[in-house]
Amino acid sequence: MVVTDNLSSHNSLATRAWLEDHPRIRHVFIPVGACWLNLQEGWWRIFRKAALAGQSFAGPPEIDQATRPGTSPAQRPSPAMIWGRPAPPTRRLRRRYVYAP
């Protein structure tokens, strides 16, 4: 299965003809308004904000220079995901009773 958004190029005549020639591949569209399902959308938003916002480029070297800082956070390993709710804090006693014999 290939999951794509509703961009017109994903539903073009050439794409549909290619899919007819490859029956094992099934084309599925994400629901309209559910762009958060497409993980690339979030990455592109962060990339545009970090590297391309308000920029104009004279050539490929300037584009390369601007995109390196924008993609360097994506190269770092992400922290481990912890599922579930954290354990409740241990309860401390306010008073300790000592019984004298």
**Span 24-77, pLDDT tens digits:** 988 888 777 666 666 777 777 877 887 778 888 888 888 888 887 767 666 667
Does residue 7 register a pLDDT over 80? no
Question: Residues with Cβ < 8 Å from 43, sequence gap 6 or more?
Answer: 74
78 pLDDT tier (thresholds 50, 70, 90): low
19's tokens:
């899919």
pLDDT in the model for residue 28? 84
Query: What global pTM score does this model have?
Result: 0.37
Count, in order, helices (H) and strands (E) of the chain.
3, 2
Report the alpha-carbon distance of residue 47 to residue 57 in Å, rounded: 16
